[in-house]
Structure 1
Amino acid sequence: MNTILKQFLLVSSIYLFTPTVDAYSLNDSLTKGTAALSSATQVKGEAQQLVGQLQSQLGVSQAQAVGGTGAMLQLAKNQLGANTMSTLSGNATGLSSLLGGSSGLSKNLLSNISSMSGVQSAFSALGMDPAMIQQFLPIVLGFFGEQGVGSTLLGQLQSLWTPAK
């Protein structure tokens, strides 16, 4: 194959496999948003224990543990009401830090999660397969059970966080 043809194929392949500007901008915004979410969040109280369990048992980063749990908790807050979060926070301190703490950007990113597909999108944006939700589930529910959350609320959370088949 001559040199000119090789160069043409190289340039063509780079062009074909380079994302469009719009797709890159969207992906870049999502990446920056999730990075801001995780870096702006200082995990506090007993929530640190939950994040540590997720990191050690699943091998996820702190940002992934915080963001994934935050997405799950935001869905619970939006679907089951603010009283649910008050109940959970009463049993485990620091859960509000998983919902973005005092960072307005973080709260805005999570506040739109109103369905399981939103949680799945958050997991994807954090670089995790949405199937990881099912690996988070027993750890998060186990943590809440250890903190004294009642079986009725644990059942509601499990139903909410289990994707429909």
Structure 2
Amino acid sequence: MKYVATLLTLSSLVFATPSYALFGQGDKTTDVMTQMATQFADEQASQSPLVQSITEQVDVSSTQAAGGASALLAMAANNLTGNNQQELTSLRPDLGSLSSLLGDSGASNNISSLNSLYSVAEKLGINAATLQQFVPVILKYLGQEGASQELLGSLTQLWP
């Protein structure tokens, strides 16, 4: 009798508990939500003309393009001063949504040196040489958006 009760209890647990929980594969709901969030970020990022330009010219995903461009622009915003900083800020309406792909809002404030820039790029799966390919694309984009030669020159000196 105890054997039958034990067998019934174990059977009910096996059928009531999702198999992934029994085999230690984690919370599938969280995994699905993460995949959906990543897909949404990819879709949002791919709508940006800058991200489209980068992905057409550099072999990266739209999320990598958006994150890398955001990191470069955050570094610029943290290092430029005066008119250049104001001008860059005024040229970024399309780019504001990209910064959310860097993660928490404090991440962009910490990108002030090449080391911190390359660290962010590495987390995105981008090496330094690939990130350097973003620079002419971003400069061209900003030039088309009306950036002054002074701003473009400052960015050229700042970025790798």
- How would you bin the TM-score normalised by the shorter chain? 0.5 to 0.7
Instruction: Give the distance between the partners of 1:106 and 1:81, measured in 2 at CA.
Output: 24
Aligned to 2:69: 69
Report if the CA contact (8 A) 1:68-1:123 is conserved.
yes
Aligned to 1:120: 118
**Identity within the alignment, %:** 34
> Which of 16, 39, 42 is the aligned partner of 2:41?
39
> Which of 138, 141, 146 is the aligned partner of 1:140?
138
Q: TM-score, normalised by structure 1?
A: 0.64
Report if the CA contact (8 A) 2:54-2:137 is conserved.
yes
Extract unaligned runs of 5+ from structure 1: 1-31
Runs of 4+ with deviation above 3 angstroms: 38-44, 81-86
> Which of 141, 147, 150 is the aligned partner of 1:152?
150
Instruction: Give the distance between the partners of 2:83 and 2:140, measured in 1 at CA.
Output: 20
Looking at CA atoms only, which structure, 1 or 2, has the larger radius of gyration? 2
Residues 68, 51 of structure 1: alpha-carbon distance in 2 compared, 3 angstrom cutoff:
same
Instruction: Give the distance between the partners of 1:157 and 1:107, measured in 2 at CA.
Output: 23
Q: TM-score, normalised by structure 2?
A: 0.65
Report if the CA contact (8 A) 1:58-1:135 is conserved.
yes
Report if the CA contact (8 A) 1:89-1:95 is conserved.
no
Aligned residues, how many? 124
Extract unaligned runs of 5+ from structure 2: 1-33
- How large is the Cα RMSD of the aligned pairs? 3.0
Instruction: Give the distance between the partners of 1:130 and 1:152, measured in 2 at CA.
Output: 25
Instruction: Give the distance between the partners of 2:100 and 2:83, measured in 1 at CA.
Output: 18
